[in-house]
Structure 1
């Protein structure tokens, strides 16, 4: 497999320009070099490839079949590079903070609030990546890791972690479900399916025990692999789930409610873990905002 340092980049650039030009002279003019310099780069490329990319007839040249394939791919590649460079140049006045967070936290806590942060901080863009339960945090690609469960240092590139919040778990259901039947006491929830997720086992059992229902037998019901998937079923009115009340009611259009917000059991803790690549100025601003959102 070729390595980047082995690619004859100057020769490839000269060939790409020559391939779309009427002649090597026109390519030389565009590149600001001599006709001989372009011709030399093309010969170097052909020697490196072991294939001709041009056929020569007098002073004119034409692409060979291999040359056409290479020219087409290079043209697309250089357009992609140019677009990426233009994008980065346009964002010169805006810094980027890359944040990785557990999927449910990102979707139900961060994303609904993020526009408020960006509106108040027009010079700073926050890019969110999600991490599924069990996945190893990507330390090298992010400025901040939000973790659920352990507050230990992750890898050799992360700094000391700080506690963000502790989950307070309580049933969550759709407003339509509540309007369908009056829910006045915890037992009333048993009239609807109890939705669970494989990544958060034992939540219903713990809450039902706290509510004084120790002997409820789970039979059937909707069970999903991840919490954020299960929440879609909750929003559709298929039942209720025990989830962190800090994430809800969230957006008004979700129409989600916590019928017993004061009847909770404690769940896992969330930690913020900066990495060594984070700029303290932007990181501090985002963490201050995040703590304010959690307090409110």
Structure 2
């Protein structure tokens, strides 16, 4: 898209809802959809994310199956492909080998062959590096060639259909996830409570929800330093998003076992 649309983190299951970004070309408008990953659910949230993914797959015209160049294809990749084929057996798949900048030519060549073999002879396979932009234009050409003709869905100045509030809450969650380990990242949810302008400054009140009281101390850190860092880092990203300076008021609340509670999941938009 040319700008940041989806948050990233080192933990699995970072993406929690489908995110649409728009690529505008002279010959096409490509709607790229980032979804939560298919996984074996351990909570009600996980089950709902899987259903969300399956519903999203039913609406797309093409699926990009990505594997990094520097990691061998394993049972998890095969499990995902197997489940993809069950959900949308007729949707074409393009293979994408990512992180060319992190692998040798021999590694890349071996991965291309392995992915081609995994997906089957008819699937296109394209190597790319998002870091330095290598072959991204080639990937877009391949995607365009595989998409059906249809009407343009969005104006040319749109880069996403994400609501601003949702993008702000995701930026806060991204900052909160940084450096967290084990199960805690899955327990973090963020809700924007209020946004208003006053005397030339935008004020945002938001809440980080956790599942247990003891998790608050981890997020706060020693002498409140981690929470201060979360506020600082997310505020910088929100400033860039909105194009103006903001004041961020961030509070911590416990929503007990929210990942498995239907009422709490509904409140948080799941």
Q: TM-score, normalised by structure 2?
A: 0.24
Q: Which has the larger radius of gyration?
A: 1
Say which structure, 1 or 2, has more relative contact order (CA 8 Å, 6+ apart). Answer: 1
